[in-house]
Amino acid sequence: MMFFLSLATLASLGASSVQDDVIVHRGAAFSIQYPKKNSELQPSSATVPFQLEYRKNSLLRLETERLTQPIDLSDQSFAAIFREVQLERLRQRVDAELEVDRVRNFSWGVGIEFQYYLPDRSGKKDRRDLVCEVVTTFDDTLYRFTHWIPERDLGNVAAPFAQIVESFRPDRPAGRAAAVAHGETSVGASARGFSGSRFEADIATYRRELEQPTQDVAARAELHAKLAEALGWRAYLRTSASQAELQEMRRAAEAALSETPDDVDAHQARAWAAYHENRMVEMEEAVEAAIAIEPDNAENHLLYALWYTFNPERSEAMARQAVAADPGYAAAYYVKAEADRRAGDLGQARVALEEAVELDPGFIEARLRLAELLGESGDAPAALDAYRAAALAAPDDANVRFKYAIALRRAERIDEAIAEYEALLRLDPSLAEVHYNAAVLYLQVRNNPDLAREHFRRFVELDPESQRAPRVRQWLAANPPSK
């Protein structure tokens, strides 16, 4: 039986048109076609059924089946057994080596993910399709996504596929996954995703709410503490903060502490502000005060791990305490990996980063750090895979896509690197560095001076003060367009 779902992010993917009984959404590299709504086939939460096609050779399908009993995949024991059953069923259908076999956290909950390559569906020799299956359950219904992407099209097609899978919203979220999705958890920070872009949204929300008049002192104190914490996390993930951001962090922390001096969040806010201003004595005082209030609070131990930056072994030990206090705390694994890396233990750093990504697939900084570490370790294929995964998880992040393109270039996968640069420029034509890199590939590898000239011209227009601009101008002057 075929089943259909709502696309929460459909509006952001492309324009739409209606042709008789078929609706078509078109994007830069894909189209989605589906019949008009059929109330007999859809759950109450769904708005449209769909089928996604790309160049008539890529397809995404969603199927369902009824289970004999409800299965909650947020329970690790159930998830492990369910994965083995699904793996056995897959082996009955497919004879292919698995590229990915894991239990994965999505924005909507827990799923089982398999990836493998099969001969290209077009029948052409020496070409392959990447097949990805994602299986999840809600109550007594099993949902199975399957999508086929030609290997040569991964850079262009996989991002829309990933967006659609992430947009999945089942009828009745159940168990821990639903609680986390709605913030209904006592864990605190670990229930949220960790990435700079997510903290950007949090900061904007807290600023806006603080502008609203209210007489609730405790509520304002909580907002101040959350603002300071979000600013602290963003600065940590960026490895920098402006003077204005540091001052805002300090003011928010001071306001929280003055309004609620016995609240753990207020002391954590003070610790974040002190950390980024390099006032380590004050930071230690704030962390000790927070621990006195809540000894088992995971973020307290994580802040201590940051305080011990000068001592990698001690920092790693404190990060492990944070993990012990909250095994689902993705950020603690990230901090632990940083300590392992400083200590020279790249193996343990890799394990910690893989755990962070497993817990929070949207933790883009962890994905990038994992890719960098794999490159440092000399595992170039795994590094490239990690960059690709980061690009799939953040298809609209130009920095991530740029790093993926550079990794493709280093792997001498020139066609894919060029395709990624061109896709980036469709996202944002004003990226001077992307124009420069694309021009170099067109000139030095593809021997196409015409395309190189166009990208070099845009580069000097966008970044005329670059140190490379004089050389580029000289080349443009010496290589005018052919008549």
Average pLDDT over residues 418-442: 92
Q: Kindly state the tokens that stand for 395.
A: 């298809």
pLDDT score of 407 = 93
Q: Are residues 19 and 119 in the same domain?
A: yes
- 85 residue type, one letter: V
Phi, psi of 416, deg, nearest 5 = -70, -40
On whether residue 414 sits in a domain, the answer given is no
Q: What is the CATH number of the domain that holds 50?
A: 3.40.1000
Q: Which of 137, 166, 181 is the endpoint of a domain?
A: 181
- Model pTM? 0.60
Compute the distance between CA of residue 52 and CA of residue 302 in angstroms, rounded to an integer: 43
Q: Which of 236, 262, 295 is the endpoint of a domain?
A: 295
Q: Are residues 145 and 290 in the same domain?
A: no
Q: Are residues 31 and 51 in the same domain?
A: yes
Q: Are residues 201 and 107 in the same domain?
A: no
CA distances for 114 relative to 72, 79, 96, 392, angstroms: 19, 14, 11, 16
On whether residue 318 sits in a domain, the answer given is no
On whether residue 338 sits in a domain, the answer given is no
Average pLDDT over residues 339-348: 92
Q: Are residues 123 and 197 in the same domain?
A: no
Residue at token pair 């920098």 = 240
Answer whether 48's CB lies under 8 Å from 60's CB. no
18 compared with 341, residue with greater pLDDT: 341
Which H/E stretch holds residue 290?
helix 280-293
55-64, 110-119, 121-130, 280-289: least confident range: 55-64
Compute the distance between CA of residue 27 and CA of residue 10 in angstroms, rounded to an integer: 10
State the residue range of the domain holding 108: 10-181
The band of 482, judged by pLDDT with boundaries at 50, 70 and 90, is: confident
Tell me the pLDDT tens digit for each residue of 296-334.
899 999 999 999 988 999 999 999 999 888 888 899 999
Q: Is the pLDDT of residue 191 over 90?
A: no
Q: Is the pLDDT of residue 380 over 50?
A: yes
Q: What is the distance of C-alpha 174 from the center of its chain?
A: 23
Q: What is the distance of C-alpha 279 from the center of its chain?
A: 32
Q: Are residues 203 and 177 in the same domain?
A: no
Q: What is the CATH number of the domain that holds 200?
A: 1.25.40
Q: Are residues 210 and 256 in the same domain?
A: yes
Average pLDDT, the chain: 79
Q: Are residues 147 and 190 in the same domain?
A: no
Tell me the pLDDT tens digit for each residue of 216-268.
788 889 899 999 999 999 999 888 888 999 999 999 999 999 999 999 999 99
Q: Are residues 17 and 147 in the same domain?
A: yes
On whether residue 441 sits in a domain, the answer given is yes
Q: Are residues 14 and 142 in the same domain?
A: yes
Answer whether 49's CB lies under 8 Å from 76's CB. no
CA distances for 33 relative to 163, 340, 434, angstroms: 16, 48, 33
Q: Are residues 191 and 112 in the same domain?
A: no
On whether residue 367 sits in a domain, the answer given is no
Q: Are residues 279 and 163 in the same domain?
A: no
Question: Which residues on adjacent β-strands are paired with residue 22?
Answer: 19, 35
Domain count for the chain, please give it.
3
Length of the chain: 483
Tell me the pLDDT tens digit for each residue of 4-29.
322 232 223 333 333 444 434 343 33
On whether residue 37 sits in a domain, the answer given is yes
On whether residue 197 sits in a domain, the answer given is yes
Q: Which of 241, 266, 295 is the endpoint of a domain?
A: 295
